[in-house]
């Protein structure tokens, strides 16, 4: 969604030869998409590796036969997910506020 919002911008100038999208009354602009991808790709890989490592660790812990160890892992995983969700939400909110501030020119 953010990529679509970035690409279809209602506030861009219309240079000669720009493709107009009549549905949105805006222009099609791919300016700056490489800079965006240079930031977005490593960030996506970072989040994916974090998620995958957690999943792989859970599968390895599933091989344990002691119920107390499995229960401890479940409790620790739930605490981790609670903390991770809170910090992810906080970072998203801060990113939105920074984007709004930059958009206003503050």
- Domain spans in the chain, listed from the N-terminal domain onward: 1-31
Residue count of the chain: 106
Residues 6+ positions from 20 with CB-CB distance below 8 Å: 14, 26, 27, 28
What pTM was estimated for this model as a whole? 0.49
29: how many CB neighbours lie within 10 A of its CB?
18
Residue 23 predicted with pLDDT over 50: no
Confidence band of 24 (pLDDT split at 50, 70, 90) = very low
Rounded average pLDDT over 46-74: 87
């Amino acid at each position: 969604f953010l990529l679509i919002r970035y690409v279809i911008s209602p506030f861009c100038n219309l240079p000669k030869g720009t493709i107009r999208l009549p549905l949105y009354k805006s222009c099609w602009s791919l300016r700056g998409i490489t800079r965006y991808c240079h930031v977005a790709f490593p960030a996506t890989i970072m989040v994916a590796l974090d998620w995958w490592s957690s999943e792989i660790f859970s599968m390895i812990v599933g091989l344990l036969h002691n119920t107390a160890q499995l229960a401890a892992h479940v409790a620790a995983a739930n605490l981790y997910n609670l903390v991770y969700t809170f910090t992810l939400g906080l970072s998203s909110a801060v990113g939105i506020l920074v984007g709004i501030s930059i958009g206003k020119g503050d």
